[in-house]
Amino acid sequence: MRMRTTAVAAVAVALSAALAVPAVAAPSDTGAGTGNTTAATGTGDHQATRRAMKAAVAAGVPGVTATARDGRGTWAATAGVGDLRTERKRSPQDRYRVGSITKTFVATVLLQLEAEGKLSLDDTVDTWLPGLVTGNGHDGTRITLRQLLNHTSGIFNVTADEDFGRTYFTKDGFLEHRYDTLTPEELVRIALTHEPDFEPGTSWNYSNTNYVLAGMVIEKATGRPYGEEVRRRVIDPLHLTATSVPGTRVSLPRPSSRAYSKLAQTATGPTYDVTRLNPSIAHSAGEMISDSEDLNRFYRALLSGRLLPREQLNEMTTMVPVDATRAYGLGLMRTTLSCGVAVWGHSGGIHGSVSEAVTTKDGRHSLAFNFNGDWAGSTEAVVEAEFCGD
């Protein structure tokens, strides 16, 4: 599915391409940066996944870390390097920015609030954020919370704004503005300078603005920041010790690798270390940090009903078709692979970090991985290899 992007905003593979099935790299046996895989830990050989990870590194991804869990147990491996300067390898325990995987956490909290009777997904945006979504054809009195979560609101995608792209995704803009703090209100105001993509409920288009608004609704409904609700309702109960909502914190917790970007619409040219940045640029659409083991635990718990009552889980998994193989629910994507297996989860990208976390609907087979470069490699190939390979 081609996301709505402009020439400049296309550089933002992290935020605006969050629906693209991520590219993952494979473990490496010997070399740093050579595409060889490091010794894997756990059960099963996952040879097809190893090869796909190696291919990602050979295509230019600095390094990949992946963890899978199935009936044989847990398997983890890495490929390539976590630091281009020192050639230090990636670690299965690496924390990384997960980009739009944040959206599943946000949708889960809103659905929990619905289950508790604190709101309804059929409430309008204006009910909770009166007067905010208005202008240039946008009308929050006609957009429901459900339409925010399944991207049928028609609200313009803030990361597709050309000035936003120049300021935060190109080399000169990013290097000057990487530590800027943006409020969710500022992000929404940028989006509302554009006309809607379509009338609410009449089509589908991925928009990060939807989830910025969803985070604001959580705060209005609970009286607490959305990140605090995510911690209280999801992170702490599941003991996701590597998962955090950083707010304006610019650093990554350790252990972690460096993150790299070309900061341009090219796979050639200089490579920049973009590890340190202020993630308020993404807010509740994509600011979170996690690791592969935590992401697998989260999606298994979610799909197995540990986080939501049956009614709300059914709502979350009610899909809007995106293309021939993908459909989108409430913060959750279903992809049908070439072998017929359907996987559920989300992909995510933010500067220098491309991630994927998927599981079968019964939670018995899950995979999460991360590329620490945003210009090369096929995440789709890694997912296909894990679920359809040898």
The DSSP symbol for 49 reads H
Q: Domain extents for the chain?
A: 9-82+94-388
* CATH code of domain 9-82+94-388: 3.40.710.10
Give the CA distances from residue 302 to residues 30, 201, 333, in Å, rounded to whole numbers and listed in that order: 37, 26, 13
Split at pLDDT 50, 70, 90, the class of 20 is very low
Task: Determine contact, residues 88/82, Cβ cutoff 8 Å.
Answer: yes
Report field, pTM of the whole predicted structure over 0.85: yes
Residue 298 contacts by C-beta under 8 Å, 6 or more apart in sequence? 104, 105, 234, 238, 240, 243, 290, 357
Compute CA distances 343 → 191, 225, 327, 335, whole Å: 31, 31, 11, 5
Q: Which of 312, 331, 314 is nearest to 119 (CA)?
A: 312
The SS3 assignment for 357 reads strand
Whether pLDDT at 22 is above 60: no
Give the mean model confidence (pLDDT) for residues 100-119. 98
Q: Which amino acid is residue 193, in one-letter code?
A: T
pLDDT at 45: 81
Q: Which contacts of 198-201 are long-range, i.e. CB under 8 A and separated by 24 or more positions?
A: 198/154, 199/154, 200/139, 200/142, 200/143, 200/144, 200/147, 200/152, 200/153, 200/154, 201/144, 201/147, 201/152, 201/154
For residue 11, pLDDT over 50 is answered with no
Q: How far is Cα 158 from Cα 187, in angstroms, rounded to an integer? A: 7
Radius of gyration of the chain (CA): 19
Phi, psi of 346, deg, nearest 5? -160, 155
pLDDT at 17 over 70: no
Q: What is the largest CA-CA distance in the chain?
A: 59
Residues paired with residue 135 on neighbouring β-strands, in sequence order? 138
First to last CA, the chain: 27
Give the residue-averaged pLDDT of 322-340: 97
Task: Compare 42 and 180 and report the one with higher pLDDT.
Answer: 180
**Positions of E strands within the chain:** 41-42, 63-70, 73-80, 96-97, 134-135, 138-139, 260-261, 272-273, 289-290, 320-321, 326-328, 333-336, 342-350, 353-359, 366-371
CA angle 345, 179, 215 (to 5 degrees): 40
Q: Are 68 and 262 in contact (CB under 8 A)?
A: no
Structure confidence at residue 265 (pLDDT):
83
Which residues does the annotation mark as catalytic?
A: 100
Q: What is the pLDDT of residues 345-357, one digit of tens each?
A: 999 999 999 999 9
Q: Tens digit of pLDDT for each residue in 30-54?
A: 233 334 445 455 556 899 999 999 9
Q: Where are the alpha helices (DSSP H) in 82-233?
A: 102-115, 125-128, 145-149, 162-168, 171-177, 184-191, 208-222, 226-230
Considering only CA atoms, which of 342, 114, 101 is closest in space to residue 240? 101
Burial class (CB in 10 A: 0-12, 13-18, 19+), 209: buried
d(CA 26, CA 35): 8
